[in-house]
Each structure stands twice: as C-alpha cells, then as structure tokens.
Amino acid sequence: MPEDVSVSLRPQETLALPSLIHTSATAQAEEATIRAAGRPALRPQETLWGRYKTHKGGVAGLIVVFSLTGVACLAPVLAPSDPFSLGDSALSAPSSLHLMGTDHLGRDILSAVLWGLRISLLVGVCAALIAVVLGVCIGGPAGYFGARLDNLLMRATDAFMVLPTFFLVLIVVAIFGGSIWKLIALIGITNWPPVARLVRAEFLSLRERDFALAAKAVGAGHILIMWRHILPNALPVIIPTLSLRTAGAIITEASLSFLGVGDPNVVSLGQMLINALQFMRMAWWTAMFPGLTIFVIVLALNLIGDGLNDAFNPRLKGR
C-alpha cells in the first residue's frame, strides 16, 4: 500500500494563507474590472490638459493670450518708436512707415498699442490676483466655520456688493490721483465679493466630504484642513474665476482711462480711445486698433475661462 503524503504547515504559515488568498483574489478582481472596462486606469483625455484641448475656443484663447503676452513683454524691442515721441505727420493713415497710422500728435499708434497692452495685462493680472486672494481669505473661513462667522462675513460681503464699485473707484482716483499701482489696488479690492461668495459655497460643500472628515478625525487643525485639504480641491472653481476677473479688470482700467482718471504717465488703451474720440470720423484707425486690442484680449480671456470650466467640470461640457 502506498504511503500517504502530507505536507505540514507551520502555525504562522497557516494563519497567513487566508490573507494571501484574499489579497490575490482582490487583485484579480480589480484586474478583471479594468479589463472589462476596456480602458487603462487613466487615459490621456482624462487629464486636465486632455479635457481642456477638446475645447476649441479655450485653446484659441490660450494661443491668443500667450501671443499677446509675448508681444507685450517685447514691447521695448518691437515698438517702432517711443510712444510719447511726437512726429511730423499727424493723423497719417496706416502705411509701410506706420503700420497702424499716427494719432493727432503724430505719435505711432502701433508703438502705443504695444505699450498699452503691456499696461492692460499688468493691471488685469495683478488686480485679479488681489481679488481672488481676498475672496479666498474671506469666503474660505466663512464656508468652513459657518455659524456666526459665516453670517458676519457674508453680511459684510453683501454690504460691499451693494456699493457702486466702479463709481467708488472713479471718485477715489479722481481725489487721490490715478497712479497705476493705485488703480491695481482699487480694482482688486472692489472685486473680491463675488469671489468670496463662490469660495464660501465650495468650502461649505467640501467640508462635509470624507477626506475633510477623516483629517478632522485624526486631529488635524482647522487651518491645516482648510488650506492643505479643502483649498486644493476648491481650485477647479477658483482658477476659472481668475481668468474672468482678469478680463473684468482690463475693462475697468480701460474705462477709467477713457474717462480721463487713469495714470497720465503711462500709455493706456483707454487713454488712446478718449484721445481719438474727436478724430474718429476723419481718422478711423486712431480708435479702431486700441479698441480692437481690448476686444481681442478680453474675448480670449473669457474663452480661457470657459475652457477651464469645462476641463475642471467635464459634466458641464456642451451646456
């Protein structure tokens, strides 16, 4: 009779065997699920850039903004002449000598547009950053803590939104002067309330998510939870707002300059428009080129905002 062959296992091997079988079964199940789905864990179109580049308007806006930013940065090199230098040929039509013509003082409009674009982008980006930072610092704590702090901060926000901010900026600049940095500060300070309300709503939602509750359960402090865990998850809402705030700040600066309360020491697109107002019928180019530049940069920034909104929120695509 053949002898029975038996394999003896040590106690620790016997205990480890069920866990190994469970781990192997779990891994096989995950692999089977991925294969059944017919796709890898992360496809290129599932990345942020992959979703953004499907938005044709957003890509076009990004190309335009990058191109205009590069041109503005190279304004000292690309400008044919000093935008303040007077010339002999006043109101000269566009030609090979002056590609965009000259204004009523003989100044080259192309040079002025390049330098004015530089100022517009500087004001737009800096003012938008100030507005977004203030909005996050006020809306974040209001949404996270709620209760009395939320009520206090939101009532202050509502009171600030009631104020006619444009006319407030207009009065302050007219009284205290309109240097470029004053304009940036004033535009940024008066544009934070919509951002604060948006951030508050996002923080109210995110503070109840599992990752925030888990961080609170392990003893993380409120500051750490807000700025380390909740804020990064709120960026999909904040970043598109930055693009839209930049466009709004550019329009505000151009409007103030058009009303004659901008910085007289710099070249501004709005300032060029007010100077061209009385010559528009006889010299259309004096107003068309600076106005067209404002239109293009604002439209491109809005397209970028739409593209970012769709990229961060794929469910909104096509709406």
Instruction: Find the range with the poorest average confidence among 14-28, 145-159, 176-190, 245-259.
Output: 14-28
- Which token pair is 43? 């496809």
pLDDT of amino acid 296:
95
List, in sequence order, the alpha helices (H) in the chain. 11-37, 48-52, 56-73, 75-78, 109-145, 147-162, 165-176, 180-189, 193-206, 210-217, 222-224, 231-258, 269-276, 285-312
pLDDT > 90: percent of the chain: 37
Which pLDDT band holds residue 117 (cuts at 50, 70, 90)? very high
Max mean pLDDT range (58-67, 172-181, 216-225): 58-67
- Say which residues have a Cβ less than 8 Å from residue 252's Cβ, sequence separation at least 6: 127, 166, 169, 187
Give the domains, in start order, of the chain with CATH numbers. Answer: 97-293 (1.10.3720.10)
Distance CA 309, CA 303 (A): 10
Q: Is the pLDDT of residue 11 over 60?
A: no
Of the candidates 82, 106, 83, which has an alpha carbon nearest to the alpha carbon of residue 93? 106
pLDDT of amino acid 6:
43
List the Cα angle 36/42/48 in 5-degree steps.
140
pLDDT of amino acid 314:
56
Q: Is the pLDDT of residue 231 over 60?
A: yes
Q: Is the pLDDT of residue 42 over 50?
A: no
Mean pLDDT of 203-217: 88
Q: Is the pLDDT of residue 216 over 70?
A: yes
Return the sign of the alpha-carbon dihedral for residues 210, 211, 214, 219.
Answer: negative
Of the candidates 273, 253, 241, which has an alpha carbon nearest to the alpha carbon of residue 120? 253
Phi, psi at 102, each rounded to 5°: -130, 160
Q: Is the pLDDT of residue 88 over 90?
A: no
Give 239-249 pLDDT, tens digit per residue: 889 998 999 99
Give 16-34 pLDDT, tens digit per residue: 434 433 434 444 444 444 3
Give me the half-sphere count of Cα atoms (radius 13 Å) on the Cβ side of residue 265: 5
pLDDT > 70: percent of the chain: 84
Of the candidates 196, 303, 191, which has an alpha carbon nearest to the alpha carbon of residue 243? 303
Which pLDDT band holds residue 46 (cuts at 50, 70, 90)? low
Distance CA 148, CA 127 (A): 30
What rounded mean pLDDT belongs to the chain?
Answer: 82
Mean pLDDT of 68-78: 92
Distance CA 262, CA 255 (A): 9
Ramachandran assignment for 101, one of left (phi > 0), alpha (psi -120 to 50 degrees), beta (any other) = left
